[in-house]
Structure 1
Amino acid sequence: MAAFDLEEQEQISQIKGWWESYGSVVTVVAVVAALASVGWQGWNWYKGKQGAEASALYAVVQQAAGEHNAQKAREAAGTIIEKYSGTPYADLAALLSAKVQSEAGDLKNARVPLAWAAEKANDPALRSLARLRLATVLLDEKAYDEALAQLQAPADADLAARFADLKGDILVAQGKPAEARAAYQAAVDALSAAVKQEASALREIAQAKLDAVGGAQ
């Protein structure tokens, strides 16, 4: 028994010595780890709260869209963009509100959320879609150079044909048939390999536009 007591005392002495050397470091690490855990949980709670509040506001935008209430949609979307811009709902609200404003004939207020989404949307694909829709609004306003500027940035691959087709429309409006032909040809080429019915329909439209400006030269 005495031998065991001596071994235990030796182990205890070793532990005490180790703790005296490294105990403060272990304490700091433990505190940092605990704070990090609390911080992570707090961040997740905050993100969840943000998402829930943004979701509720997006439901308001959807309801307003169904009611064709442009002001209600604009105000709710504006709140989401202002307070919850880091959530996916901000992207969706911007696009939906712009659609409602455009349908109401209010192109000025349609431009605002589209301009935000074109630059700051969280989803790259939605940024491309916002640029496409913003260019369409600018075309309707005869702001041709601004519209073309929105189509210069690389588009999402799935939207490349629509970018090229809209670019052709703008160039036609500017009286530039040769450049419009090149744009329409790019749209036709991009859609040639597509098998979806929608893509086929878009290709026929683009081809008709190409033929209207003189076909391939």
Structure 2
Amino acid sequence: MAYDLEEQEQIASFKAFWARFGNIILWVLIIALGSYAGYNYWNSHKRNQAVEASALYDELQVSLAANDNAKVQRIAGDIQKKYEGTAYAQMAALGAAKTAFEANDLKTAKAQLQWAVDKGNDEYKAVAKLRLAGVLLDEKSYDAALKLLNDSFPAAFSAEVSDRKGDVLVAQNKLAEARQAYTAAYAAMPKENPGRQLVQVKLEAIGGSVPAEKDATAADEAKAAA
């Protein structure tokens, strides 16, 4: 079928447009499709990693229950090496540190905790720093423990940090500072936290006392009366 003049002009215009911009359009499409394929591959790879890491972590849990430190360290090392970017690697480091500590292998315990400090997210890093400070306390490395505890922590860990600082300061016989730390820990802990009573015992054992708590009901009644 012969094209009329208007159609021929449209075809000519399209050919001119394609000659000018065709290669650019093709490259944009190639990049977009490549990016989409890469995105799907990355998501699939991450899912596969999570499944594989989960299976290894289940094996680690069995070894933890059996208190098999050597096997725990081996499995934790595999998870950290192959699946460093997953939460399982951070959990494995904390578990491996626990069994090492119980086996009196403080060097390995510190190495695992330091791995979590270096590689973990904010929450796991905070837990690792608290536990590492506890190991340093047992080693009588008081200054190193306090330096670690003076590092930044998420606000949710303020009570635990103050409590651990109190322990270190008591070991240094700095009782006035220890009382301040325990008082801060007690104040920061919710009433339902079972650790609060332990902090109170430690505080009173060094001559301190917990701050008096206001009676919320009486306070409300006073406000209403006013």
TM-score (norm 2): 0.86
Provide the C-alpha distance between the structure 1 equivalents of 2:33 and 2:116, rounded to a whole number of angstroms.
Answer: 38
Question: Is 2:101 aligned against 1:102?
Answer: yes
What is the RMSD computed on CA atoms of the aligned residues?
2.0
- Counterpart Cα distance in 1 of 2:42 and 2:123: 27
Q: Are residues 1:159 and 2:157 paired? A: yes
Q: Using the alignment, how far apart are the partners of 2:102 and 2:156 within structure 1?
A: 25
What is the 5 A alignment of 1:33-182?
33-121=32-120, 123-182=121-180
Corresponding residue number in structure 1 for 2:201: 208
What is the aligned length?
Answer: 210
Q: Return the alpha-carbon distance in structure 2 between the equivalents of residues 144 and 75 of structure 1.
A: 31
Q: 2:74 & 2:148 partners in 1: Cα distance?
A: 25
Instruction: Return the letter of the residue paired with 1:114.
Output: L
Per-residue Cα deviation, 1:140-169 (whole angstroms, up to 9, x for no partner): 222212211221112222221111111101
Deviates more, 1:135-144 or 1:125-134: 135-144
Q: CA deviation at 1:215?
A: 1.2
Report SS of the residue matched to 1:105.
coil
Q: Which runs of 5+ in 1 are unaligned?
A: none
Per-residue displacement from partner, 1:12-58 (whole Å, max 9, x unpaired)?
11111111111111111111112212222222233233222222221
Matched AA of 1:141: E
Runs of 4 or more, structure 1, over 3 Å off, are none
* Secondary structure of 2:140 counterpart: coil
Percent identity for Structure 1 against Structure 2: 45
TM-score calculated relative to the size of structure 1: 0.89
Q: Secondary structure at the match of 2:4?
A: helix
Unaligned runs of 5+ in 2: 210-226
